[in-house]
Amino acid sequence: MMTAHGKLRREKGSLAEYESQMKDLRAQLTDQIKILDSQVEVKQQQLSDLSEFLRRRGDIEAEYARALDKLTERFTHKTKKKEQWGQSVCQVWSVLLTQTRLESREHAALGDTCCNTLTQRLVHGTEDTHRLHKRSKEVGIQMQDELLKVTTELQTALKTYNLYHTDCLIAEGKLKEAERLEERHTGKSAELGPGQSGGQRRSSVKKMERLMEKRHGRVQETQLKCTKARNDYLLNLAAANAAMNKYYLQDVSTLIDCCDLGFHLSVERVMRCYLASRLRIQKTEEMGLKQLEAAVTSLDQGGDRDALLQQHDAAFCLPFRFNYHPHEGDQVCEVSAESQVRYELETRFQQLQSRLAAVTLETEEISKTLKATLTALLDSMCDSECNPSTDLPSSLSHEPPVGSTAPKLTLAKRRANQQETETYYFTKVKEFLTSSSLTSKLQAKHDLLQDAIQKAEAVDSDPSRMQCARSVRVRKSRPVSQFCHTLFTTDIVSYIQSSGQQIPVVVESCIRFINLHGLHHEGIFRVPGSQREVNLIRDAFERGEDPLSDSECDLDSVAGVLKLYFRGLEPPLFPYDSYSQLLECVQIEGEIEKAGQIKAIVSTFPRPLLIVMRYLFAFLNHVSQYSDENMMQPYNLAVCFGPSLLRGMDSDDAVARQPQVNDLVKTMILQHDIIFAGQSELPGPVYEKHMTLEQEYCEPITEEGDGETEHLPSEDEWEAVAMFDYVARSPAELSFKQGEILILHSKASCDWWRGEVGGVKGLIPHKYISVLEGSERGKREEGGGGGGSTGNLATEDPQTENTTRSQERRHTLDTVRQGGLRPTDRPPFGQADRTTVDKEMISRQMNSVFKELLSRQPPIQSSALTTPAAPTPSPSSSSAPAAKKVGFGLRGRALFRPMD
């Protein structure tokens, strides 16, 4: 108990550390926005002060020009009266007065430039600064939201990993407990000695073996889920760190540059114009003007940006990297490409490679367009018409400055063009930042997967680790159901009640297939599949089969079948009477309040609908978490599923209300954990993020050059009787009728015999037959107390039985590693309940069983349909244990589940 509490504290400690990092990150991002806001206020204040200074300087220059003009007129009048002055002196006065008159004109021109032209430009600069900052802030907030989204996904992946690893530890603990129980039971049996009956010992040994196999299977399943969850966590960890690096090392600088766009250039142009006017009238102040010009020339946008970053290093410095926190002493600290997930990782790696190449090319094209747009925007800001030439002295021309006489229409047109260019430029900035951030995240995942796959290939290529033989399992579809229910174009509630499937088989099978193979598939649900294949899959489901047991189906076609199923439901998944109420929720502003209102409406739906909705929207949310790779954001998924899930009685307004439907479905995808109750409040199937391949119907075959399939030691032939009709599904199988006598040669696997029927050789399913007591095998073991068996061989000697069991386990493990199949949950060959079966009794009981099945209605309360059990002996034959045959279990992809 203390150990459990210690584990819980350590788990909470690692989660608390992530929470603290997230809290610090949010505070830091908020400080960045505040600092950028303060900077724009500083720039606006600087422009305002400069405008006020130039206006007052213009007034002073104008007043000074008027004073000079009065002075010149006064002394010109005096010189005309004093004709007694000599010509040389008069010439001096004439030159002096002329020069003063010219100086008065230059000061008047300077005063007009300062009061009108330069002040107007500064007003425009203030407007530009405010507008550009607002757009930059929008881009910055969006990038921060993307960064927070990545870190939130990392936190969610950590929680999922902790959950699955806890399940793994629990399963391992139960396995150890079972081992201790087995040791205790063995010791107890040894103490009892021969006093205990042989039947009781064998029964207890079988129970312990079944318990151990069940616990071993649970440990393997939880370890596989834990591995997938850890891989997802590590990939999200790499993506989060890459996004952090990209944002703080590149995006922040780009955002600051956008905030300062044109500010330094505007100030520079204004000051250069002022300098040009002053240089024409203040030749004697050349040194001072050169110093001012040097200061103006030293305007440096990049330098100011770096200074700002250094001044506020606490807000803009790169935070600490997110460290990997293994759960409960987990020793694996890297992406694992074990054989169970090797195919999945290789497929994901190839899709990442393709996606990364496309995004990189797109980013390069956007970058080129961005540079060209920036050049055009800067050229528009520093138009030559706003720049007076310093080469031509204005004293030779009595025309007013060019800026004051420019047509207002030309100026307005130039301003409009500039703003249009700004809008396009910021659109490209947003695209570039988003695309480059996506590239960095994809590259991080790509590199991590590449290293993992290379390491796995190096291990596989090691000669010491190569196996001399391996077998491949060919997946077979399950037997066709005897009870057919309409799947498509039906009422889903009625179907669930009649079939007993809480999640319709087409929904469960399609979602499992996409979970295993298509989460990273680009354009899943958006790219249409082959209509022919969609029809074939649909027809197979309608016949009661599960066509997706073969993983070679087209992903887009499987996704099309899932959409087709919901589109064909009548009534739709969301009842008609809730249509208007749900669309009214879209008007609510807050996301939490909106989700709460939707939950209040959805909670009134029938319980079967709620279970299906919870399963579907949890799956869609999981798909959206891989939007970096599959390009299916929640809104894109809402566009694909909205019309299929939500329809009104009146089809005329469907197009007009489509945006509201999309918004509603998007909210339900994002807030599905708030809208739908958990398993404790609403018992029923829950979608799992990391699924595994469930029990498959398999036939082992041998790959060329890889050895032979395992089989039992060579024996004489056995006779068996067919307990059911069976129709072959491939040329390798044999068809037979109930009661027909079969000849068995050897065991092909735990599910199949090699034998013959009517002289034709092939494969025979052992679940459909019963080995006769009088066969050659039974005669041989008669002395050892072994009788006939139902679908299994009689008891073998312990050494042979242990060897066979270990071979079957190795064979199953190799098959799982190569084909992605999960070991079956069936008991090993030779361990089924044994009983003495009489041929006539089997025939008589089979007739009664089939009559009973034809009159029996399928149970409603069970989560899946059940198959008929094998015939059991009559009460009179109570001396032998009942032979119980379990139906075809299809957990996950199943149409039918075994009857308890």
Query: For residue 756, which phi and psi values (nearest 5 degrees)?
Result: -150, 150
Q: Is the pLDDT of residue 326 over 70?
A: yes
User: What pLDDT does 565 receive?
Assistant: 92
Of these ranges, 250-259, 303-312, 398-407, 560-569, the one predicted with the greatest mean pLDDT is 560-569
Both structure tokens of 62:
């104008």
SS (H, E, C) 484-514: CCCCCCCCHHHHHHHHCCCCCHHHHHHHHHH
**pLDDT tens for residues 335-381?**
877 766 777 788 888 888 888 888 899 899 999 998 898 888 888 87
User: Helices in 82-113 by DSSP H: which ranges?
Assistant: 87-112
Lowest mean pLDDT among 35-49, 491-505, 737-751: 737-751
Residues 521, 351 contacting (CB under 8 angstroms): yes
**pLDDT tens for residues 397-408?**
445 554 455 577
Query: For residue 721, which phi and psi values (nearest 5 degrees)?
Result: -115, 140
In 3D space, the residue among 117, 115, 113, 122 whose CA is nearest the CA of residue 44 turns out to be 122
| CA distance linking residue 893 with residue 478, whole number of Å | 10
More confident residue, 817 or 146: 146
User: What pLDDT does 127 receive?
Assistant: 86
Whose structure tokens read 């002289």?
759
CB atoms within 10 A of CB 318: 11
Residues 893, 541 contacting (CB under 8 angstroms): no
193: confidence class by pLDDT, cuts 50, 70, 90: low
Strands 752-757 and 760-765: antiparallel
Q: Is the pLDDT of residue 33 over 50?
A: yes
More confident residue, 867 or 506: 506
Q: Is the pLDDT of residue 858 over 50?
A: no
Lowest mean pLDDT among 278-282, 357-361, 779-783: 779-783
User: Where is 764: in which H helix or E strand?
Assistant: strand 760-765
Residues contacting residue 242 through CB under 8 Å, at least 6 positions apart: 440, 441, 443, 444
User: What pLDDT does 291 receive?
Assistant: 57
Residues contacting residue 315 through CB under 8 Å, at least 6 positions apart: 28, 31, 32, 35
Query: For residue 763, which phi and psi values (nearest 5 degrees)?
Result: -100, 140
**pLDDT tens for residues 656-687?**
888 899 999 999 999 999 999 888 888 888 99
The predicted model gives 72-82 an average pLDDT of 74
Q: Is the pLDDT of residue 465 over 70?
A: no
User: What pLDDT does 268 receive?
Assistant: 86
User: What pLDDT does 284 receive?
Assistant: 59
C-alpha distance from residue 635 to each of 300, 531, 659, 661, 665 (Å)? 43, 25, 10, 11, 8
**pLDDT tens for residues 782-830?**
433 333 333 333 333 434 444 443 344 334 334 333 433 333 333 333 3
Tell me, yes or no, if the pTM score tops 0.85.
Answer: no
* Identity at 17, one-letter amino acid code: E
Lowest mean pLDDT among 48-57, 181-190, 469-478: 469-478
More confident residue, 15 or 856: 15
Supply the Cα-derived Rg of the chain in whole angstroms.
Answer: 41
Assign domain 341-381+413-458 to a CATH class. mainly alpha
Whose structure tokens read 């040097």?
294
More confident residue, 777 or 514: 514
Query: For residue 733, which phi and psi values (nearest 5 degrees)?
Result: -100, 165
The predicted model gives 114-123 an average pLDDT of 87
User: What pLDDT does 433 receive?
Assistant: 92
User: What pLDDT does 74 receive?
Assistant: 85
User: What pLDDT does 258 receive?
Assistant: 87
User: What pLDDT does 198 receive?
Assistant: 66
Q: Is the pLDDT of residue 850 over 80?
A: no
Q: Is the pLDDT of residue 308 over 60?
A: yes
More confident residue, 211 or 751: 211
Q: Is the pLDDT of residue 650 over 90?
A: no
| CA distance linking residue 837 with residue 830, whole number of Å | 16
Question: Directed axis angle between helix 591-602 and helix 658-670, to 10°?
Answer: 90
CATH 1.20.120.1810 fits 492-675, yes or no: no
98: confidence class by pLDDT, cuts 50, 70, 90: confident
C-alpha distance from residue 811 to each of 44, 337, 815 (Å)? 76, 20, 6
% of the chain residues with pLDDT over 90 = 13
Helix (H, G, I), strand (E, B) or coil at 518: coil
Of these ranges, 66-75, 190-199, 208-217, 618-627, the one predicted with the greatest mean pLDDT is 618-627
747: confidence class by pLDDT, cuts 50, 70, 90: confident
Lowest mean pLDDT among 528-537, 581-590, 752-761, 838-847: 838-847
In 3D space, the residue among 177, 167, 176 whose CA is nearest the CA of residue 227 turns out to be 167
Domains of the chain, by residue range, sit at 341-381+413-458, 492-675, 718-771
Helix (H, G, I), strand (E, B) or coil at 606: coil
Q: Is the pLDDT of residue 560 over 90?
A: yes
511: confidence class by pLDDT, cuts 50, 70, 90: very high
Residues 116, 404 contacting (CB under 8 angstroms): yes
Q: Is the pLDDT of residue 707 over 80?
A: no
290: confidence class by pLDDT, cuts 50, 70, 90: low
Q: Is the pLDDT of residue 165 over 80?
A: yes
| CA distance linking residue 787 with residue 873, whole number of Å | 15
Q: What is the mean pLDDT of the chain?
A: 74
In 3D space, the residue among 715, 502, 522, 464 whose CA is nearest the CA of residue 612 turns out to be 502
Q: Is the pLDDT of residue 243 over 80?
A: yes
SS (H, E, C) 225-250: HHHHHHHHHHHHHHHHHHHHHHHHHH
User: What pLDDT does 405 receive?
Assistant: 54
User: What pLDDT does 794 receive?
Assistant: 33
User: Which of the following CATH numbers is that of domain 718-771: 1.10.10.10, 2.30.30.40, 1.10.10.60, 2.60.120.1270?
Assistant: 2.30.30.40
